[in-house]
Structure 1
Amino acid sequence: MTETQPRHALVGRNSWKTVRTLLRKIRTKSSSSDRPRSSTIQDVKQDSTTTIDESANVSVAEFTIPNIQKALVVARKGEYEIRHDFPMPTVGDDEIMIRSHYVGLNPIDWKSVDYNFCLPEFPWVTGREMSGTVAQVGSGVKHFKEGDPVWTSTYYKDVRAGCFQEYVVVPSHTVLPIPSTVPFEAAACLGVAALTASMTLWKWLGVPIPWSTTDDAEEQWLLIWGGSTVTGQFATQIANFSGIKVVTVNSSETRSLSECLGATHVVVRDGKTDKQLVEEIRAVTNGRITRAIDLVGPKTAALALDSVSKSDPVAFAPLAMMSSSQIVPDNVAVHTVEMKQFVLDKSNVRFTEELGRLLEDGKIVLPELHMIDGGLHSVQEGLGMLKRGNLRGKKLVVRM
């Protein structure tokens, strides 16, 4: 059943009677209360204000953290199950427990299950990004308190951090406050796409942060193959703020999207041969691309390598994988982007701080959201939509 709800429906109705009723509904096993429904929130712009639904308005102090929770688990190879008695995660001294309100869906979520990777054992909980409220803090955590609205990006090796469960536990340095300009539901797309775009550019590809100054007046070009992807949308804007010209490759349906986000030139791939695409990219940039990101796959990674400078040093991030047999030109450095470093290396928090400044200042246009109701019972439906593709730049977010 498909239903479109206005944004104002997420706000208000704050009586504690309503809240208690909602919490009972969240925890019930009734399939009728969990039936998937989807809706679309369009045009979440930089002037948006934080949206809080009635469950997000609940102070954690007003209810008791349960002994068990509901989780969508990968029970065995390629098979999901809803567990209503999944153990509650414990909280270490420097960790935070978050009660989930919104979960972002990403290609890695279905690929890891379909191809059986990033699953240390069975049953396991997947899911890499979410927004919610702090439910409990460890004894060593001083900068957050119960009830704070937050977002996070998680690491697959800790089952407590899998986002497809009602409560997640993560290291405190990976928990970020939701900027005042970011709607609660939109914060669920920051942990993968926004963080990947910013870290790829700033950490691996050497793009200067927007606040820094550079004496290098030489024209610089970044190629983004897959400009309409959510990661591509964030990367286009971040690079543009740093004074780097961006050329993206899109379908004709999403050309205007990348143009509106600041791409200097959009190459429309429809009806063109691979050779024509490469020739157009090189002609537009005068063969001066020194940074490139591929967000599609091994074939387009090869085309991206054909499009970059033949003489200047080039930094390339094949985010959607590259063939192990791919021949790489001598002037190209291929960077393996490991987003787990955000969790494993606390020094990478500086990148989320810079990202947070851009968001708080309202400089970044957020992606259009396609909201899916039904909680954990609707995650598989959403992953199926993601797998089929053609979302035209929309981000899938599940309302928990």
Structure 2
Amino acid sequence: MSTTTCLQIEEIHRKPSTFHRKIFSETTPKPLVTTTVKEEVITQTPLQAKQRVLLLKAAREQYTLVDDHHVPSILHPGEFLVKVLAIGLNPIDWKGPAFNFGIPSLPWINGRDLAGLVLQVPNESSRLRVGDIVLVPSTDYRDIRKAAFQEYAIATDFNAARIPSSTSIHASASLGVAFVAAALALGVSFGVDFSRLTQSPGPNLVNVISTLDKKNIPVDIQDEIFAISSESDRPQPGDWVAIWGASTTTGLVALQLAKLAGLRVICVADVARHGAKLLQSGADLLVDRRDTERAVEIIRGVTGGKLRYAIDIVGKETAMLLERTLDPPNNAHLLGLTGLPKDRVPGISYHTVPIKLFHTAPAVGESLVTWLESLLQSGVLTLPEIIRAEGGLEGINAALDVLRSGEASGKRIVVDLESHS
């Protein structure tokens, strides 16, 4: 079977029905995933010592399927065991091995996004229960137990969000890391107060951070999170924010969170391919990415040269273009997810997403996942459009080739493990 024929596009709408919880093959749809089925899975799943994993044995090589790897153990308070049902693929999953970064040691298990079934919980007081279906953003990539490319994984209760029964498990599996990155970018780096939202209010992350003990926070993100500007310097309803790479999952989520907070959003993307989706998600202005000089000119023209907030999700070159749209005398802010200009302009504050905060600060992690649960339950958040790859763990190498090729632009590839368990 070719890599293209094993992939199917699943449209996810603003209010998905239970229809989207079906697990499809290329021929006949399988029955709905119900609570009864989940309970049966729990009773039939032995807590065995071995499992199948996708192992990276050397840099610049494909992943290798191994069927005798140990099942990860619960080691710390608040941890729980999850049976992986779906895996959301991220560019880092192929870029890490290809360019030999983000790999703590070898052999290693990768994977940042998963959805699964809770099999064991820390204690009776845990906010999670056995049988819950959860999405888990695995930002703690140095802990191999928490990686997604395996049949069973460990997570912490403050880093998992329950998936409502009306929401697609597979689309949810693609959402986690993107949501965390977007929420931290807006709520921590820029200081947006999500508690003021009229729909599904979230946390005021600036206030949450003020309660943290600095010595418990990784040194490399302390400057980012403890140097938050004064109230007057934080985005206010009606302010503009520009997002370059808005058609990415992180861009799409950032757009929606910014709109919920009352901001006006400029989306830079391939307008012909993704403009309709971005408009449906609330974009105030679309700017085509193909003519970069014209894009800079349009952004400056629309904002009167007074733009103060910009997010780049593409790379250093586009971050440099966004830098030119900002107004340094007005205390501007530029956040880059994948790179920032080397030379800094006075009057512009440069930011990177403090992703470690999600798994090192329980108060931050829990505030984000409980907010995400509320957003999913209310249907306020539009989920990514996904491409579902079949073949289980064995299909991940082929799916990553599709991701690398760029064929999945504007969509997320999700690998189904449930039908291969």
Match of 1:31 in 2: none
Q: Which residue of 1 aligns with 2:215?
A: none
144 and 395 in structure 1: CA distance in 2 versus 1, 3 angstrom threshold: same
Deviations 1:171-194 (A, max 9, x none): 221122113442111110221112
1:37 lines up with 2:6 in the alignment: yes
Are 1:282 and 1:307, in contact at CA under 8 Å, matched by a contact in 2? yes
Partner of 1:254: 274
Assess if the C-alpha contact under 8 Å between 2:175 and 2:384 holds in 1.
no
- CA 38–235 in structure 1, closer or farther in 2 if over 3 Å, else same: same
**TM-score, normalised relative to structure 1:** 0.85
Change (3 A) 1:218 1:159: closer
Q: 1:334 matched to which residue of 2?
A: 350
Q: How far off is 1:354 after superposition?
A: 2.3
1:77 pairs with 2:62: no
Matches within 5 A, 1:39-58: 39-49=8-18, 51=21, 53=23, 57-58=37-38
Give, in whole Å, the separation in 1 of the partners of 2:367 and 2:22.
27
Structure 2 length-normalised TM: 0.81
**Structure 1 unmatched runs, 5+:** 5-35
Correspondent of 1:116 among 100, 117, 121: 100
Distance 1:61 1:48, change over 3 A: same
CA deviations on 1:4-28 (whole Å, 9 max, x unpaired) are: 9xxxxxxxxxxxxxxxxxxxxxxxx
Cα distance, 1:38 vs structure 2: 1.7
Which residue of 2 is the match for residue 346 of structure 1?
Answer: 362
* Residue in 2 that maps onto 1:300: 318
The 1:161/1:392 distance shift into structure 2, 3 A limit, reads same
Q: Percent identity?
A: 30
Deviation at 1:264, TM superposition (A): 0.6
Q: Describe the shift of the 1:3–1:163 C-alpha distance in structure 2 as closer, same or farther (beyond 3 A).
A: closer
1:128 match: 112
The correspondence of residues 186-197 of structure 1 with structure 2, limited to 5 A, is 186-197=171-182
Q: Look up the SS of the partner of 1:173 in the other structure.
A: helix
Structure 1 outlier segments of 4+, above 6 Å:
213-218
Distance 1:289 1:85 in 2: 55
Superposed counterparts of 1:307-322, under 5 Å: 307-322=325-340
Q: Which residue in 1 is equivalent to 2:383?
A: 366
Which structure 2 residue ranges, 5 or more long, are not aligned? 24-30, 199-230
The answer to whether the 8 Å contact 2:241/2:308 transfers is: yes
1:322 deviates by 2.2
Contact 1:199–1:351 under 8 Å retained in 2: no
Matched, 1:230 2:199: no
| Structure 1 residues 4-60: Cα deviation after superposition (integer angstroms, max 9, x where no partner) | 9xxxxxxxxxxxxxxxxxxxxxxxxxxxxxxx8221111433343472656773321
Q: Is the 8 A contact 2:328 2:346 kept in 1?
A: no
Give 3-state SS (helix, strand or coil) of 2:196's partner.
coil
Deviations 1:168-222 (A, max 9, x none): 0122211221134421111102211122112211122112216348998774111
Match of 1:90 among 66, 69, 73: 73
Look up the match of 2:263: 244
Question: 1:141 offset after TM fit, Å?
Answer: 5.9
Decide which of 22, 27, 44 is 1:62's aligned counterpart: 44
8 Å Cα contact 1:220/1:288 also seen in 2: no
Q: How many residues align?
A: 365
2:22 and 2:122 map into 1 onto residues whose CA distance is 25
Residue in 2 that maps onto 1:170: 155
